[in-house]
Amino acid sequence: MKARNEMVNDRVIDWALGEALAIGSLLKDGTHVRLSGQDVERGTFSHRHHKLHDQKEDKKVYVPLNDLYPNQATYTVCNSSLSEYGVLGFELGYSMTNPNSLVLWEAQFGDFNNTAQCIIDQFISSGQAKWIRMSGLVLLLPHGYEGMGPEHSSAR
């Protein structure tokens, strides 16, 4: 948290801070935001920290983005199981039921989205043409070569 505060003071923004600022502005404007995926609360590379767990009091958590403004929208951030097919299918259904929410699903590593490819092909890519239903679902896939190998880090 100290490093994040230093970035604000130095007027330098990395991906995690930019993401938090964008989510915060949507919440202030009244848009519910939901982020789901394996280890999204902390962030796969320990970069996010959107849910803080009290080390002294069991089960006490704090979501800083839910405490920015009075009357803001709710931010839901939830870790999911490593079952991309099922989780992405659920998030797609959630986004279609709540079209005014921004629903984000993050694959922990790029190639982890492969097991959910049929959801992407059969429902996300063609859903609006098939059923004339829009979805606010956004897929977040890691990118770049962070030393984990080409498929694991580039979403190929």
CB 106, CB 19: distance < 8 Å = no
Q: Residue 54 corresponds to which tokens in the numbers above?
A: 């009290």
CB 117, CB 106: distance < 8 Å = no
Tell me 73's DSSP state: P
The tally of domains found in the chain comes to 1
**pLDDT, one tens digit for every residue, the chain (156 residues):** 777 778 778 888 877 888 889 999 999 999 999 999 888 877 766 677 778 878 888 878 888 899 999 999 999 999 888 888 899 999 999 999 998 999 999 887 666 677 788 888 888 888 888 888 888 899 887 655 555 555 655 555
26 belongs to a structural domain = yes
Cα–Cα distance, 33 to 122 (Å, whole number):
25
105 belongs to a structural domain = yes
Q: Residue 1 corresponds to which tokens in the numbers above?
A: 């948290």
Range of the domain at 56: 15-154
Looking up residue 83, the CATH number of its domain turns out to be 3.40.50.12470
Residue 105: closest CA among 123, 89, 117: 89
pLDDT tens string 123-151: 888 888 888 888 889 988 765 555 555 56
